[in-house]
């Protein structure tokens, strides 16, 4: 089972930003305030607040999660038996929480680079993108593939160390699907962004 929680940073007022910032540990506050761009500060704040609220909601408990970092700096929770992963892009921050390993990636929709696709994608994946007749549909297809691959790398904790080609979705049905024991799901709550969630094992989404 997994849940995904979202924050639109455009909805964070100055008062809310100051209030939530004051509730964070000093080290995290300094890290957030070290960012020069206000939107970067809001995204960083949203990650911290959303992880806390997501873990508490998922477990039904109220104690504050204690976060540590493992290999490749993948964060994990010390005092809860849950897995989580966070991502942000543009105006959105997203956090996925699960009872099994999980990765999430969110990308705001924009024009994709064919050169990037050629460098990182298989021939089948490039053909899948090109098969869409309109440019917006090709852009969405590119980011469907990109977010699936990024979410996989974030689930494993490898990040960029694993290489974007480490996971290839099954395209035999005409759209990206689960492959090789990896469960791939897409969140559909945002019209202007693509959100992919990747897990190991059976999927039960709520």
Residue 196 has pLDDT above 50, yes or no: yes
Structure tokens at 147: 């977010």
Whole-number Å distance between alpha carbons of 150 and 165: 9
Per mean pLDDT, which range of 1-15, 117-131, 162-176 is the poorest? 162-176
Is residue 148 within 8 A of residue 168, CB to CB? The reply is no
CATH T-level fold of 105-200: Ribosomal Protein L22; Chain A (3.90.470)
Give Cα separations from 5 to 12, 77, 95, 109, 169 (angstroms).
15, 17, 5, 19, 24
Whole-number Å distance between alpha carbons of 141 and 145: 6
pTM, to two decimals: 0.92
| Per-residue confidence (pLDDT) for residue 202, from 0 to 100 | 55
Q: At 151, which helix (H) or strand (E)?
A: helix 135-156
Instruction: Delimit the domains of the chain by residue range.
Output: 2-101, 105-200
Whole-number Å distance between alpha carbons of 133 and 135: 7
Q: How confident is the model at residue 57 (pLDDT cuts 50, 70, 90)?
A: very high
Is residue 144 within 8 A of residue 186, CB to CB? The reply is yes
Residue 14 has pLDDT above 60, yes or no: yes
| Per-residue confidence (pLDDT) for residue 162, from 0 to 100 | 58
Is residue 121 within 8 A of residue 145, CB to CB? The reply is yes
CATH homologous superfamily, domain 2-101:
4'-phosphopantetheinyl transferase domain (3.90.470.20)
Question: Beta-carbon neighbour count of residue 116 at 10 Å?
Answer: 12
Provide mean pLDDT across the span 121-146.
96
Per mean pLDDT, which range of 13-17, 50-54, 72-76, 178-182 is the poorest? 72-76
Q: Dump pLDDT digits (tens) for 80-91.
A: 999 999 999 999
Mean pLDDT of all residues belonging to the chain? 92
Characterise 181 by phi-psi region: left (phi > 0), alpha (psi -120 to 50), beta (else). left
Characterise 74 by phi-psi region: left (phi > 0), alpha (psi -120 to 50), beta (else). beta
């Amino acid at each position: 089972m997994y849940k995904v929680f979202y924050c639109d940073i455009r909805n964070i007022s100055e008062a809310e930003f100051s209030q939530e910032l004051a509730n964070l540990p000093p080290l995290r506050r300094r890290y957030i305030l070290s960012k020069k761009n206000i939107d970067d500060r809001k995204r960083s704040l949203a990650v911290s607040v959303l992880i806390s609220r997501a873990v508490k909601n998922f477990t039904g408990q109220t104690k504050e999660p204690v976060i540590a970092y493992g290999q490749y700096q993948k964060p994990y929770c010390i005092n809860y038996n849950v897995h989580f992963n966070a991502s942000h892009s543009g105006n959105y921050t997203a956090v996925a929480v699960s009872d099994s390993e999980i990765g999430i990636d969110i990308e705001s929709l924009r024009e994709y680079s064919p050169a990037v696709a050629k460098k990182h994608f298989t021939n089948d994946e490039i053909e899948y993108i090109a098969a869409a007749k309109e440019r917006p549909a090709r852009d969405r297809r590119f980011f469907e593939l990109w977010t699936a691959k990024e979410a996989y790398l974030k689930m494993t904790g490898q990040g960029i160390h694993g290489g974007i080609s480490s996971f290839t979705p099954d395209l035999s049905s005409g759209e990206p699907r689960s492959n090789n024991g990896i469960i791939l799901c897409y969140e559909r709550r945002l019209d202007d962004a693509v959100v992919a969630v990747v897990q190991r094992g059976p999927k039960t989404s709520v």
